[in-house]
Structure 1
Amino acid sequence: MKILLLNPNTSESLTTRLVDAAAQVVAPGTEIVPATAPRGVPYISTRAEAQIGGAIALEMLAERAGSYDAAVIAAFGDPGLFAARELFEEPVVGMAEAAMLTACMLGRRFAIVTFATALGPWYQECVEMHGMTARCAGIRMLDGAFRSISAVQEEKEDLLVALANDAVASTQADVVILAGAPLAGLAAKVRERIPVPVIDQAQAAVKQAETLALLRPFKARQGSFQRPAGKESTGLPGPLADWIARRG
């Protein structure tokens, strides 16, 4: 089984973190195939950047269509997720949706903890997009600069743990999600310091992707996620243009 782990950020260091976290839980015989955005921003933190990353994710999926059994869009706000499910045959998993659904199997309400205030509005809209508002106890964000996106989890580990513990105490959250690709792998390091289950977003996503690949669902032929009728386009990369035109 091949799971495409698609990072719509341009930071190779984040792709490495995501792959390292995912590799700890995948089943024997599952191959993680990493892919990093060839252009865009080092890490997505705003609505505008998410729109850019989502479009690039569609291009990357089109280029690799048919070469994987399931794909993960490995940015916590799930940029491009619904569009990808509409266009492509293989199951596509969003890292945020997978983390939230996993959290819902461990408790009634979850808290999202992340490393930057800029992420808050986008993450809140992601919660709403997935219909999880009633299950979300709140989103907690650190306030302050960080030195490096590739090392933010080491730099801010103690502050993130304190923020998670405060969220549990003040909101009665049953589960904590450490959110944002730069925090992939942190849950395993800090879970003994937080009194409720802690979800690793990358691990939740690849396990959900494995499950969907094993279930072998067929592509919707009716409903809102059926593949749209073919349409010619102008200026799009060849593989994506072919897929939209139904030549793929």
Structure 2
Amino acid sequence: MRILVLNPNTTAAMTAGIRDLAEAVASPGTTIVATEPLWGPESIEGHFEGYLSAAAVLDRLTTFDEPFDALVMAGFGEPGREGAQELLDVPVLDIAESAAQMAMMLGHSYGVVTTLDRAVPQIRDRLLTAGLLARCAGVRGTGLGVLELEADRERTVEVIVATAREVVERDGAEVICLGCGGMAGLRERVSKALGGLPVVDGVAAAVKFAEALVGLGLSTSKARAFAPPRPKTITGWPLSGRRPDIR
């Protein structure tokens, strides 16, 4: 099977890191195709950039002409997943929901360690909408911007671990979710520093859930909420390339 992993920002180096992790956890016979939008913000740190990114992601999907069996959206809590579910006839996985779902299989409560504090309300809203907030012990920001995660990986791990300890000791979390696609590949180091506490990487979780859904022949219901978009004129759309037929 082929899984498309879509980084919602335009930073190619982050896409490469996400691709490396996805390939590392993928089963034999699974091919990972990773990309990013052709335009949009270099990182996503707020609602304005999030909605711009959602449009850019949907634009990329509308014009993407390679076959794939499932989509993994590698932004933690950004909008746009529902639009992708309408647009595509393959399973669509969001790393925030995938991480939380997997974490709830491993402990009574989970916590999320993310980037800037301003991202906390956005993530909580996403978990609430998904029906996953009730078992979330807490969401805490590290104070690191998305692009800072790549600048000094040693410092990034130290700050993530310190923040995770707060989520465990003060909020009561039993499992930690890494709350940004830019944290891909750090799970084992963070878990070891926390004495073996389960740490879930959303990219890895989403890839494994995608494999399971494709293997079971399951995909998004088109009966109601995620029915295909109704045919109509969308002025100036898409911004990039050609517009294939929407089915």
- Asked if Structure 1 and Structure 2 have the same fold, meaning a TM-score greater than 0.5 normalized by the shorter chain, the answer is yes
**Following the alignment from structure 1 to structure 2, what is the Cα–Cα distance between the partners of residues 142 and 183?**
12
* Residue of structure 2 equivalent to 1:230: 231
Q: Assess, with a 3 A threshold, how the Cα gap between structure 1 residues 210 and 240 changes in structure 2: closer, same or farther.
A: farther
**Following the alignment from structure 1 to structure 2, what is the Cα–Cα distance between the partners of residues 14 and 5?**
12
Letter in 1 for 2:73: I
* Residue of structure 2 equivalent to 1:76: 76
Q: Assess, with a 3 A threshold, how the Cα gap between structure 1 residues 141 and 218 changes in structure 2: closer, same or farther.
A: closer
**Following the alignment from structure 2 to structure 1, what is the Cα–Cα distance between the partners of residues 242 and 210?**
22
Q: Assess, with a 3 A threshold, how the Cα gap between structure 1 residues 56 and 146 changes in structure 2: closer, same or farther.
A: closer
1:242 shift after superposition: 4.5
**Following the alignment from structure 1 to structure 2, what is the Cα–Cα distance between the partners of residues 233 and 215?**
35
1:197 shift after superposition: 0.5
Given that residues 75 and 95 in structure 2 are in contact (C-alpha distance below 8 angstroms), is that contact kept between their aligned partners in structure 1? yes
Aligned pairs for 1:91-240 (under 5 A) are: 91-143=91-143, 148-151=148-151, 153-195=153-195, 196-217=197-218, 220-237=221-238
Given that residues 62 and 239 in structure 1 are in contact (C-alpha distance below 8 angstroms), is that contact kept between their aligned partners in structure 2? no
1:3 shift after superposition: 0.4
| RMSD of aligned alpha carbons | 2.1
Letter in 2 for 1:208: F
What stretches of structure 2 of length at least 5 have no aligned partner? none
**Following the alignment from structure 1 to structure 2, what is the Cα–Cα distance between the partners of residues 182 and 207?**
18
1:66 shift after superposition: 6.4
> Displaced runs of 4+ in structure 1, greater than 4 A?
144-147, 238-243
Given that residues 5 and 72 in structure 1 are in contact (C-alpha distance below 8 angstroms), is that contact kept between their aligned partners in structure 2? yes
What stretches of structure 1 of length at least 5 have no aligned partner? none
How many positions carry a matched residue from both structures?
245
**Following the alignment from structure 2 to structure 1, what is the Cα–Cα distance between the partners of residues 10 and 63?**
17
The alignment partner of 1:143 has SS state of: coil
Which stretch of the first structure deviates more once superposed, 61-70 or 79-88?
A: 61-70
Q: Assess, with a 3 A threshold, how the Cα gap between structure 1 residues 163 and 61 changes in structure 2: closer, same or farther.
A: same
Letter in 2 for 1:189: R
1:154 shift after superposition: 3.1
The alignment partner of 2:137 has SS state of: strand
The alignment partner of 1:117 has SS state of: coil
Letter in 1 for 2:141: M
Letter in 1 for 2:235: T
* Structure having the larger proportion of residues in helix: 1
* Residue of structure 1 equivalent to 2:63: 63
Deviations 1:15-58 (A, max 9, x none): 11111111221100111001112111111111111111111111
The alignment partner of 1:199 has SS state of: strand
Given that residues 5 and 73 in structure 2 are in contact (C-alpha distance below 8 angstroms), is that contact kept between their aligned partners in structure 1? yes
The alignment partner of 1:24 has SS state of: helix
1:164 shift after superposition: 0.6
1:217 shift after superposition: 2.2
